[in-house]
Structure 1
Amino acid sequence: MAFKEVREYQAGDDIRFIEWNVSARMGHAYSKLFEEERELSVYLLIDTSASNLFGTNKQTKRDLITEISAAIAFSAVSNNDKISTILFSDRIEKYVPARKGRQHVLRIVRELLGFTPVSGKTDLEKALRFLTSTAKHKSIVFILSDFVADHYEQALGVAAKKHDVIGIQVFDRMDMQLPRIGLVEISDPETGDNFLFDSNDKYARLRYSKQFDEITSQARRQFKKVGADLLQIETGQDFVAILQQFFIKRK
């Protein structure tokens, strides 16, 4: 409910909503009037860290995040809702306040297509805390990330109490398992560290797959704990069909 105006007190008005300051000045009682806010604000919390530059199936994870974000933004504006974006790495890279209109959405899409982050690292906790301090009214929040991040459970819980939070975890098939191609040099895109990896080694491949399983399981566990939804979408998948099925199910 949003405050609308003050009018003279009428029989039956809730005394909790008497505006005492105005009443004192005017010499008789005045009440606050409220109206239901029907407009929604949609926030896109978008991970721009370097791990999302990886992709082997038609697109990178960042490409997939951009396409999903654009689809959600155009859907919001067609429903006359406001749309806002928060681009983050281990810092808030860019904040675009919530507004309506097709031109605003086109601006957001341009930002996503041409944006170069300052940092390649990830701090989801910091991004969630910025969201909580910025979004004053209950909103729909989409978090688009590969969730290669730690220590965000508490901040996620705070955000989920105030907003309708939906996580969209993007991943690539090569995140799950590497092919057997012998000894390869692997680079960590966020730290820049390089190391040799024997993809023919059964136990090395097992450790690689286990790491991915731990990341996805942690995301599922933390979202479930705070009562928020989580979708997991692979590069190259038809994300529109997945989103449609998800919202039909929620409805």
Structure 2
Amino acid sequence: MTEYSVTAQQAREHSIELSLEQLIACQYWAKESIPLPHKKTRAHLVGGHLSPFKGRGMEFSEVRQYQAGDDIRTIDWRVTARTGKVHTKIFQEERERPVYIVTDLQDTMFFGSKNRFKSTLACLHSARAFWAAFNSGNRVAGLFSTANDHLELKPSNRRQNGLRLLQQMMELHNQRLDAIYQEHSSFEVNQNALRDTLLRLRHLVKGGSLIYIFSDFMNLNSECQQHLTYLAQHNDIYGVMIADPLESTIPLPGQYTLTDGLSHIRIDADNRRDMQRHKESFEQRVAQVANYFTQAQSAFRLCSTEDSITDLSLDPALNSKAPNNKAAGL
């Protein structure tokens, strides 16, 4: 990440500070419906058959008289004893699912060379995912974290709570943005922030949920992979890696200082060997992150700050479709 100086006022002028109006406007880019679970999982409580719904997945509908072929495990013995005739319970598939939106607002996210900051794009995609889930009748929860702050909002399908989710995400983003670009300020990186968020998710998420994770995954490690694997056993996970073109290539000649918030390196953009190493380093990091999600049997997508906000499909099943529209979006 190239170091340079910019004031909070300049940040506002270049539209990298978020507004609630922007996040509300994302509903117009959220025309997709949140899908029901895609992967099959082995049910442990009701026999050993495979169900396309993770977790409970079914809710009681009615009781009717037993018919040949009905599962004897669903017999309602109380009604049977009362009426003298065998009755069975009928269940129907749940048509909504909890959606958890995890947004990483570490300091490494507050950088961008095309259109917007990585943090801004992550928040816009988070808002778009919220509106898609809300419009589909799902309950939506939020987990937002910086190096020092962690914010949780419980699942809800009430519009008032949803607007509160967007408001608090915006405030956390803008507060950190102002703090970073104060004079003499320095970047803060918590290497355990993502791990702690995923660990917290394990205590909060119930089976059958859809989890979106928007991050640059600078701090993704083997412990994070363990938490992802555990969560993916009963939930669908969609990891969206937010990147910037300068992380893989530098178009202008010159000497640059790059940092991940912990270490610094100098790079000469005129030196082909330096530029090749720079590109390969980024590609290796993307491949490693993608491999973590693949091993957890979860969806993964790479997004760039130069992409349009609509380039990302919110359906994990369509994550392999490569973006080709480089319009500015919002």
Identify whether the pair has TM-score above 0.5, normalized to the shorter chain.
Answer: yes
Residue pair 1:125, 1:156 contacting (<8 A) in 2 also? no
Q: For the residues of structure 2 that align with 1:197 and 1:175, how far apart are their CA atoms?
A: 12
* 2:125 aligned to which of 45, 49, 68: 68
Residue pair 1:91, 1:127 contacting (<8 A) in 2 also? no
* 1:204 aligned to which of 274, 284, 290: 274
**Per-residue deviation, 1:143:** 0.9
Residues 38-61 of structure 1 deviation map (CA, whole Å, 9 limit, x = unaligned): 221111111111111110001010
Q: Number of aligned pairs?
A: 243
Q: For the residues of structure 2 that align with 1:83 and 1:141, how far apart are their CA atoms?
A: 10
User: Does 2:279 match 1:222?
Assistant: no
**Per-residue deviation, 1:10:** 7.6
Q: For the residues of structure 1 that align with 2:199 and 2:88, how far apart are their CA atoms?
A: 35
* 1:94 aligned to which of 151, 155, 158: 151
**Per-residue deviation, 1:135:** 0.7
RMSD (CA atoms):
3.4
Q: For the residues of structure 1 that align with 2:198 and 2:72, how far apart are their CA atoms?
A: 37
In the superposition, the TM-score normalised over structure 2's length comes to 0.62
Residues 86-111 of structure 1 deviation map (CA, whole Å, 9 limit, x = unaligned): 11346771111110132222222212
Q: For the residues of structure 1 that align with 2:267 and 2:66, how far apart are their CA atoms?
A: 78
* 2:140 aligned to which of 73, 77, 83: 83
Residues 17-69 of structure 1 deviation map (CA, whole Å, 9 limit, x = unaligned): 6899x9xxxxxxx9988654322111111111111111000101011001111
* Other structure's SS at 2:190 match: coil
Residue pair 1:166, 1:229 contacting (<8 A) in 2 also? yes
In the superposition, the TM-score normalised over structure 1's length comes to 0.80
Letter in 2 for 1:172: D
In the alignment, what sits opposite 2:169? Answer: 112
Greater shift, 30-39 or 47-56, is seen at 30-39
* Other structure's SS at 1:162 match: coil
Letter in 2 for 1:128: L
Residue pair 1:91, 1:126 contacting (<8 A) in 2 also? no
Residue pair 2:313, 2:319 contacting (<8 A) in 1 also? no
- Please identify which structure carries the higher strand content: 1
Q: For the residues of structure 1 that align with 2:140 and 2:282, how far apart are their CA atoms?
A: 32
Distance of aligned partners of 1:239 and 1:122 in 2 relative to their CA distance in 1, 3 Å threshold = farther
Residue pair 2:245, 2:306 contacting (<8 A) in 1 also? no
Where does structure 1 lack aligned partners over 5 or more consecutive residues? 23-29
**Per-residue deviation, 1:231:** 1.3
* 2:233 aligned to which of 155, 161, 177: 161
Q: For the residues of structure 2 that align with 1:41 and 1:217, how far apart are their CA atoms?
A: 29
Residue pair 1:166, 1:230 contacting (<8 A) in 2 also? yes
Distance of aligned partners of 1:18 and 1:11 in 2 relative to their CA distance in 1, 3 Å threshold = closer
User: Does 2:127 match 1:58?
Assistant: no
* 2:256 aligned to which of 173, 184, 196: 184
- Please identify which structure carries the higher helix content: 1
* Other structure's SS at 1:121 match: coil
Which aligned segments of 4 or more residues in structure 1 are displaced greater than 6 angstroms?
A: 9-15, 17-20, 30-33
Q: For the residues of structure 2 that align with 1:54 and 1:249, how far apart are their CA atoms?
A: 24
